[in-house]
Amino acid sequence: MAIPQSFLQELIERTDVVEVVGRYVQLRKSGANYMGLCPFHSEKSASFSVSPSKQFFHCFGCGRSGNAIGFLMESQGMGFREAVQDLAQHAGLQLPEEERSPQERERAQAQRQQQATLSEVLARAARAYCAQLRTAAQAIAYLKGRGVSGAIAKRYALGWAGGGWHGLASVFAEYDSPLLVQSGLVIESEEDGRRYDRFRERVMFPIRNLKGECIGFGGRVLGDEKPKYLNSPETPVFHKGRELYGLFEARQAIREAGYVLVTEGYMDVVALAQLGFGNVVATLGTACTPEHVHKLFRFSEQVVFSFDGDEAGRRAARKALDAALPHAGDTRSVKFLFLPPEHDPDSYVRSFGHDAFARLVGDALPLSRFMLQAASEGCDLGTAEGRAHMLSKAQPLWAALPEGALKPQLLTQFAERGQIAPEQLESLWAKEHLAQTGQGFEADSTGYRSWRKDNDWRGPRSPGARVRTQAPLPRTPGRRRSDHALRLLLSHMAFLHALDAEDRQALADLPAPHGTLFLWLEDQWHERGVLPWAQLGPALQGHACEPLAQRIMTGSHAQTEGDEAELRAELQDLLARMHIENIEREQNALIAASASDPTALARYRRLEERRRELKNGPPAGGAAQENKPA
């Protein structure tokens, strides 16, 4: 449900905007108001004013203004509901309860309590790792060798995990507490139940969310042992596809520099901060996701991705391109920086200096040129066949772009490179899009037809039963399955209440623009509550995902009326199949890694249990048991 206006008004009246702004900006009294340096742009003389009587802030330099809610959203990157929740907690107000059953409210409260408890456990471990670093001569020598000062180590709260198998037993009296496993700090053997620390003999990099809370760790070995970097596993508070290392520390520097630089490693972030580039973040051992890009654009309109110049770097850049395309509006800039193979960002700055690296960033490859390169790769443009192949590869890239001035320009450039008239190319791509998406109803890839009033079915049916229309289609997932999952959520936004963290991650990780549309829908739900498609459609106007949403919500296949319990069951079936595919992909990777990673097979077995559970479905008469891999 949307937050009532009366509650928002009371919240603003009970909030002191000077106190809120003062948490992040040093203010001094100046007449009836308070003044300080603007947190939204770089300045030497204070032009940022906060009015206690009007409960309002305004910058005379950059023009930013608003109330306490707007300040938290702009300066801390919070969503609307998150900012309201933050202020409500400080004001001692209880956010109005959403329209949930008592069981759902109880489950949500338990989840919030668990997250708060895990965050405290992780913070306690972070303090212990910091303390251990002070006496770890080998780790100190390594950091000094990389040019890291004590001030930078303190800023990023760097630490050290010693070599003992049970080092955390001296930090946590109850080493057998399940919280240590749930937080990812301790591994419990499935064979004999013995426990040991996950991180041993590693420099520790605490990963903090936008509130500054520790939610996980990255650990780096000092030598050449493998893996070089070890990350926390997915936990109730840590999802590596959503978080970025260093973003909490880099917020102000990003605003001052006017752009954010995305690198591939924790050490890149720390080393570049030491060398004067405080506006750097890193992905957490995973490819860049649409959610990463969505979060980055909350802090800057300019994003530069930095990659190694080798083949692995080019593959990572291509994934970042796919994630960025739906967000590449006319007012936003996305660039790609490829370093020489013999350098990482740290070594390049040390070899050629701060200014040389800054020039390299400024000359980074624009998204439009990288799109042309990506589409042309492996294609012989000297032949008609090669040009046709290039245009075929270009079509999904171009289609992912939002409407605006950039899109028709790129159509012209692709047409020129393919030696075809722009009008012909646009018509050709429109026909291909129609052929790919199709019209009219088709059974989705689950083998089930959406239940609705006009369905033709035979035989008795119990409440919540599914109607099988055909044998399952071949496993060519993707678009139809993700289309239908989003169709159900756009038609029945209240279904978002029932999604757990695993479901949300699977939907957010869908390739653009599907994952981007889910993130947008979730933002709308948090900020405005449950809305019908009649209101969501107009809200999408001009958004990068509008074409996708209009396509999946138009035509006979878009009808999703009928028994709500059946539709919920249909959504859960779709999600289960998505989870199974994700698990099978990870299992394949674990088999490949098992020769060098002793924990891979144990993880594989846990995933196999989860896969079988999903494949068999919940027990008759009950919900699925919670048995997800750690």
**Rounded distance between C-alpha atoms, residue 116 and residue 98, angstroms:** 21
Per-residue model confidence (pLDDT) at position 79: 77
Name the phi and psi angles at 133, rounded to 5. -60, -30
The architecture (CATH level 2) of 5-91 comes to Alpha-Beta Complex (3.90)
Per-residue model confidence (pLDDT) at position 97: 63
Give CATH for domain 111-231: 3.90.980.10
Per-residue model confidence (pLDDT) at position 108: 66
Tell me the C-alpha to C-alpha distance, in Å, between residue 332 and each of 46, 199, 316.
28, 39, 21
Confidence band for 264, pLDDT divided at 50, 70 and 90: confident
Per-residue model confidence (pLDDT) at position 459: 37
pLDDT digits (tens, 9 = 90+) for 310-365: 888 888 999 999 999 988 878 889 999 999 988 888 889 989 999 999 999 999 99
Name the phi and psi angles at 160, rounded to 5. -145, 130
Higher per-residue confidence, 377 vs 538: 377
pLDDT digits (tens, 9 = 90+) for 186-197: 999 888 889 999
Sign of CA dihedral 119, 122, 128, 130: negative
Mean pLDDT of 50-66: 87
Confidence band for 167, pLDDT divided at 50, 70 and 90: very high
Give CATH for domain 486-614: 1.10.860
SS3 499: coil
pLDDT of 556 higher than 50 = no
Listed range (266-275, 298-307, 311-320, 537-546) with the worst mean pLDDT: 537-546
pLDDT digits (tens, 9 = 90+) for 402-439: 888 999 999 999 999 999 999 999 999 888 766 665 43
Listed range (172-181, 384-393, 609-618) with the worst mean pLDDT: 609-618
Among the listed residues 208, 210, 224, the one whose alpha carbon sits nearest the alpha carbon of residue 159: 208
Mean pLDDT of 591-597: 74
pLDDT of 251 higher than 60 = yes
Per-residue model confidence (pLDDT) at position 617: 65
pTM score above 0.85: no
Mean pLDDT of 445-468: 36
For the chain, which residues make up each domain, given as ranges?
5-91, 111-231, 247-363, 486-614
Per-residue model confidence (pLDDT) at position 324: 92
Mean pLDDT of 252-275: 91
Side-chain-facing half-sphere of 624: CA atoms under 13 Å = 19
Confidence band for 395, pLDDT divided at 50, 70 and 90: very high
Tokens of 594: 């098992």
Mean pLDDT of 34-40: 89
CB within 8 Å of 232: residues ≥ 6 apart: 183, 184, 198, 207, 215, 216, 217, 218, 238
Per-residue model confidence (pLDDT) at position 515: 86
Tokens of 459: 């035989």
pLDDT of 292 higher than 80 = yes
**Rounded distance between C-alpha atoms, residue 282 and residue 210, angstroms:** 14
User: If you search the block for the tokens 């100046």, which residue do you land on?
Assistant: 30
- Provide, rounded to the nearest whole percent, the portion of the chain with pLDDT above 90: 38
Highest mean pLDDT among 99-103, 136-140, 452-456, 526-530: 136-140
Confidence band for 366, pLDDT divided at 50, 70 and 90: very high
Among the listed residues 158, 111, 113, 94, the one whose alpha carbon sits nearest the alpha carbon of residue 131: 158
Fold of the domain spanning 247-363? Dna Topoisomerase Vi A Subunit; Chain: A, domain 2 (3.40.1360)
